[in-house]
Each structure stands twice: as structure tokens, then as C-alpha cells.
Amino acid sequence: MAFDGVVTRALVHELHRLIGGRISKIHQPHHSDVIMQVRTQGETVRLLLSANPTYPRIHLTTEEFTNPLEAPMFCMLLRKHCEGGQIEAIRQIGMERIIHIDVRTKDELGDAAQRRIIMEVMGKHSNIVLVDPASGVILDSAMHVTAAVSQYRQVVPGRLYVSPPDQGKADLLAVSEREFISSLDWNGGRLDKQIVDRYTGVSPLLAKEILHRARLSTREAVWEAFLAVRDAIASHRYQPSVVKTKDKEYFHVVELTHLQGGTSVSYDTVQQCLQAFFEGKALRDTVKQRAHDLIRFVTGERNKNEKKIDKLLQTLEDAKDAEQFRLYGELITANMHQLKRGDTELVAVNWYDEAGGTVTIPLDPLKTPSENLQSYYKRYNKAKNSIQVVQEQIEQAQAEILYLDGVLVQLEHASLQEAEEIREELVEQGYMRDRKKRGPRKKKDVRPELDRYVSSDGTEILVGKNNKQNDYLTNKLASAHEIWLHTKDIPGSHVVIRARSCSDQTLLEAANLAAFFSRAQQGSQVPVDYTLVKHVKKPSGAKPGFCIYEQQRTLYVTPDEALIRQLKMNATARA
């Protein structure tokens, strides 16, 4: 996590532009996220405060969020105390990842009042707290921390606000050369960890950058590198950038020269840098949290069908003995005069064996010869009849697995709205029980919102992100002579090129979309079939998203995420 005290300092410096601005609207799209619309300097901007345990952050954003039909209680309280209020101050506490936003507002009687929104960016302990600064009492918080969770500080309404415990670190902006050199154990190793442990606001990423610049040559060189970084921070000379290496992505406001072999993208502001880094990641994390039970449920259903197929295959294996049961029955019939109750076996000549061999037939001594005969014929008829039924059941189970695999792929790429549509589909298909919903029900005839892309030559490409969207795109929206694409024998999205003919480049880009939004996203040379929409049919009674097609050709592409982003940017620019 590179959202350290230095990044917080740079961020707060930029957020000073909001001082004097008025909070016009407040939304809470997720229990950990708050969006405040602030009218300032003739424009309206949106400030995101997120206590997401994986991606906590605060910055201006242009990202779109879906708000719940009914605002959460914390959102209602923020609206009551802060909506319409004016931001008087935004400040960082020391070099910590704690930001105070002071708001001048009015109370219920119309008298002037002060409120303070405290953003604590502390990993899984992050929080958004609303405080009355006059009394220090907590009015409410996004995350409640009770005594069962923390004995040091409880963050619940009515308690006095207590700052997170001080770690006893020195201020990196005030340390002298002698203090810096004497504070480190130069023979103790792990100098980067020592710097992190001794100076507030410094993350492991920044400490490694300082040592890289010093080349670990002398103590003075380390100090000079530390001093250069500190001076840039003190004078607010930042270089926001996102660096993507082979394994991971990093961001900071100090240039990261120690990340060798990575691709770096610079940004004009810290806000742009943070949005570029977190956008998509935080959303994906939120979707995973929301859809976790959904993914677990679908995976469980898939495993049930796999076990069912194993049992059915064993039944088929057992059914192979049907002819043997029939033979036993015929031989018992022919030798009935030799049998009596209590016999344990019958040794009879096998008429069907050209060599004239004999067959030993096990008998139940507690049954009469006639009952033994009926028992074998009954087993024969049961085995014979089960073959056809079991084959049908196996085909049904395989179809179920194919469908559920497709749902799992869709959940990997789903937005919050798309995940909810998938849940509704599972309810309609009888997999899940309907849950009670607040607010008005959605109209059944609402058209799904499809994912839209534009190719390099300006051709529109549509992508279905779940089965409802796939059915609507292929069977209702697309014209007969438009081009339809899907990964060959791999669960994935339906893709349609909105043109009667297209360039080879557009076809390859559409195939890339089909491969990217499929189970083979991480693969290479993924086979993608394409044909005209008129050659794609949905069988009667088939599950949502299922279709058959003919007269197809196949392309082989390797999914390219950078290309997908460019196609999306093309669509945004055209809109």
C-alpha cells in the first residue's frame, strides 16, 4: 500500500482548492464509500472518501457510481449535518494518513454549527468518522469499532473521538543530517525498513526509492538522497505516476526510479494519478464482495452436477451387465426342473457360447427358483431402461455445468448492476430463492444496458456481459447481416459488430473483446468463431445465453487489455 503520509500531504495540498466550496449533495453507493459533490470556483467536483479495506483512499473522481434506492443511515446523517455546508479547512494531521475536513453548517434551529469529517486511511482499519469538533463526540462513522474489536479506541456514536495511537516516529521534514545518520544502525541491515520504522509518512516503497538513489554507497549518499526527496516534498514538487511491472502496479507522488523494467505513466495531478490507479480495482473488489455469496453458490451448484455425472456414469457402467442378467434368466428358465429352494448356484451350459462352455449363476438360497428367475429379469429390465434415462440425465447435467461456467465467467467481469441481473436470472431459473426487495420492482421490459466499444476505424461493437444481455443483443437488437462473435467451445460473452461488413482490423479487435470477456482471458491464441447473426439460433427451451450457430469461421487472438481500454476510450470520446 503506497498511500503513505507523503501521498496524503500531496493530496491535501491539491484539495485546498475545495476550501470555501459548498457541499451540494452526498451519496453513499457502498457502505465503505461516500461521494460528496462540492460546488467550488464555478464548477462542481466529486470528492470520494473510501474506507474500503483493500483500497482505502480519498481523491476527486469522475467515476460513475450506482447509488442504492434507499440511502444508508450514515449517508442520511451526513446529509443532515453537512449537506449545504461550506468547507472551511482541509488539513493533514502531522504526516499521518489522517485528513480532517471542517464544515461550517447550521443545526436544526438554524444556528451556525461546526462539523468535522475525519478520513482515516489505515488499510483494513480505514474509516470515515463524523465528529462534533466542539465536544469531540462521534456522531457516527462508516465502520463501527466496538470494545470487542479494539480496547484502545471505540468508534461508535456518542463516544469521544480518539485519534489512532501515535507510533512514536520522527517527522521526516524536521530531521537534521546528524539526527538522521545517528538514528540508523548502519550495520544492522534492512536500512529501508529502519527508515520506515523511524520516520512517519514513509512507506516501504518510498524507502526503497531513497536507497536506490543513494546506491547504498556511503552514509552521506543516503542522507543526500533522503534530503533530495524531502526537499521536493516540503516544497510540494511532486511527480505523480503509476508504474506497472510484470507482477504488480504501483503509484506514488515521488518518481519511482528503482522499479526496473516497468512501464511508467505520469499525471498532472495527484487526483488523476489516484483515480487511474484505483478505478476498476476498487470496483472489482466491491463486486467480488457483493457477489461472493453468488460465486460460492454457483460454484457449489457446478460441483453438485459434477458429482451427479460421476454417479450416473457408474450407473451406466453397472447397466452394462444387463445382457448378462438376461442370459442368467434364460438359463434358469431352461433348467428350472433341476432347481429347488436352498440352491446357492446353477452350473448350466451356455447356449450362446460356440465353444460350449458352462456358466455358474449365483442363486439366493432363501428364494424359490421362480423368484430367482424373476429377480434376474427385473434387474435386466431396470438396467436396460436406465441406460436411456441416465444418458439424458448426463446430458442435462453437462448442460447445467456449461451454463454455470458461463455464469462464473460473467461474474468475473460483472459490474454491480450486472451482478444483480445475474442474481435475478438465477432466481428466474429456479437456482435461488427470491429475496425481498425494498422499493419499486424493476419493469420486466427494461432493455439491458450493453457494454459499448468503438474500433480503430470507428465501427461500433457491442458486448453482452451476462446472459440477459447476451440474449437481448443476439436475438433482439442485432440485425441479421451484422457480425456475431463468440469464443469457440469456451464460456464467454456474445459480441456483435454493428455493421454489414467491416475491416480485418475491426474483426480482430472484436475477436479480442470476445476472448477477453471469456474464461480464456489469460490465455493466448484463443479461438474465436464469427458468423452472421442470421446463422445464430436459440433452441426452444434453452437456458439464457445459450445458442447454436453455423457457417462460422475461426480467428485466433491473444487478449490485450491495453487494446480493450483503447476501444473503450474510443466509445467514450464518441459519446
Checking if the pLDDT of 403 tops 80, the result is yes
| Average pLDDT over every residue of 359-384 | 87
Q: What is the pLDDT of residue 427?
A: 86
Distance of alpha carbon 289 from alpha carbon 305, whole angstroms: 25
Average pLDDT of every residue of the chain:
88
Contact 258, 208 (CB under 8 A): yes
Q: What letter would DSSP give residue 17?
A: G
Amino acid code (one letter) for 226: F
| pLDDT band at residue 408 under the 50/70/90 scheme | confident
Q: What is the pLDDT of residue 271?
A: 93
Q: Give me 327's grid cell.
A: 442370459
Checking if the pLDDT of 445 tops 70, the result is no
Checking if the pLDDT of 60 tops 90, the result is yes
Question: Three-class SS of residue 569?
Answer: helix
Q: Give me 329's grid cell.
A: 434368466
Count of residues in the chain: 575
Distance of alpha carbon 22 from alpha carbon 32, whole angstroms: 23
Distance of alpha carbon 276 from alpha carbon 62, whole angstroms: 10
Mind listing the pLDDT tens digit for each residue in 149-163? 888 899 999 999 999
Q: What is the pLDDT of residue 194?
A: 92
Q: Of 63, 80, 60, 74, which is closest to residue 30 (Cα–Cα)?
A: 74
Q: What is the pLDDT of residue 463?
A: 94
460-463/358-362 β-pairing? unpaired
**Higher pLDDT among residues 294 and 8, named by residue:** 8
Checking if the pLDDT of 443 tops 60, the result is no
Distance of alpha carbon 77 from alpha carbon 470, whole angstroms: 41
| Average pLDDT over every residue of 362-387 | 86
Return the H-helix or E-strand segment holding 504: helix 504-516
Q: What is the pLDDT of residue 68?
A: 84
Mind listing the pLDDT tens digit for each residue in 479-503? 999 999 999 999 999 999 999 889 9
| pLDDT band at residue 315 under the 50/70/90 scheme | confident
**Using CA atoms in the order 438, 439, 443, 449, what is the torsion angle rounded to 10 degrees?**
-80
| pLDDT band at residue 350 under the 50/70/90 scheme | confident
Strand ranges, E, within 325-418 = 345-349, 358-362
**Using CA atoms in the order 373, 377, 383, 388, what is the torsion angle rounded to 10 degrees?**
180
Checking if the pLDDT of 437 tops 60, the result is no
Checking if the pLDDT of 412 tops 80, the result is no
Distance of alpha carbon 20 from alpha carbon 101, whole angstroms: 12
Contact 106, 99 (CB under 8 A): no
| pLDDT band at residue 64 under the 50/70/90 scheme | confident
Q: What is the pLDDT of residue 435?
A: 63
Q: What is the pLDDT of residue 128?
A: 96
Q: Give me 1's grid cell.
A: 500500500
Question: CB neighbours of 368 closer than 8 A, spacing ≥ 6?
Answer: 341
CB atoms within 10 A of CB 442: 11
**Cβ neighbourhood burial of 195 (10 Å; 0-12, 13-18, 19+):** buried
- Cα separation values, 334 from 175, 338, 370, Å: 107, 9, 12
- Cα separation values, 33 from 46, 50, 286, 314, 446, Å: 12, 4, 10, 52, 28
| Average pLDDT over every residue of 461-466 | 92
The percent of residues above 90 in pLDDT, for the chain, comes to 54
Q: What is the pLDDT of residue 100?
A: 97
Report phi then psi at 156, rounded to 5. -140, 155
Mind listing the pLDDT tens digit for each residue in 233-288? 999 999 999 998 888 889 999 999 988 778 899 999 999 999 989 887 776 676 66
Q: What letter would DSSP give residue 253?
A: S
Question: CB neighbours of 383 closer than 8 A, spacing ≥ 6?
Answer: 318, 319, 321, 322, 325
Question: CB neighbours of 87 closer than 8 A, spacing ≥ 6?
Answer: 18, 19, 20, 21, 22, 23, 38, 40, 101, 102, 103
Checking if the pLDDT of 353 tops 80, the result is no
Return the H-helix or E-strand segment holding 197: helix 191-198
Mind listing the pLDDT tens digit for each residue in 90-149? 999 999 999 999 999 988 888 899 999 999 999 889 999 999 999 999 999 999 999 888
Q: What is the pLDDT of residue 95?
A: 92
Q: What letter would DSSP give residue 145?
A: B
Contact 456, 475 (CB under 8 A): no
- From 44-48, 184-188, 250-254, 383-387, the region with the lowest mean pLDDT: 383-387
Domains and CATH numbers, the chain: 5-141 (2.30.310.10), 170-281 (1.10.8.50), 292-413 (1.10.287), 451-574 (no CATH)
Distance of alpha carbon 72 from alpha carbon 557, whole angstroms: 45
Contact 1, 274 (CB under 8 A): no
Query: For the chain, how big is the Rg over CA atoms in Å?
Result: 34
Q: What is the pLDDT of residue 135?
A: 94
Distance of alpha carbon 294 from alpha carbon 411, whole angstroms: 8
Q: What letter would DSSP give residue 50?
A: E
Checking if the pLDDT of 330 tops 60, the result is yes
Q: Is 491 left (phi over 0), alpha (psi -120 to 50) or beta?
A: beta
Q: Give me 4's grid cell.
A: 503513505
Centroid of chain to Cα 358: 66
Checking if the pLDDT of 442 tops 60, the result is no
199-200/170-171 β-pairing? parallel
Q: What letter would DSSP give residue 345?
A: E
| Average pLDDT over every residue of 543-553 | 92
Centroid of chain to Cα 155: 29
| Average pLDDT over every residue of 372-385 | 84
Strand ranges, E, within 353-447 = 358-362
Checking if the pLDDT of 444 tops 70, the result is no
Return the H-helix or E-strand segment holding 129: strand 127-132
Distance of alpha carbon 370 from alpha carbon 332, whole angstroms: 9
Crossing angle (nearest 10°) for helices 561-574 and 504-516: 110
Centroid of chain to Cα 190: 36
Report phi then psi at 169, rounded to 5. -90, 160
| pLDDT band at residue 436 under the 50/70/90 scheme | low
Q: What is the pLDDT of residue 1?
A: 52
Q: What is the pLDDT of residue 358?
A: 86
| Average pLDDT over every residue of 28-41 | 92
The percent of residues above 70 in pLDDT, for the chain, comes to 96
Q: What letter would DSSP give residue 69?
A: S
- Cα separation values, 483 from 457, 501, 535, Å: 16, 8, 10
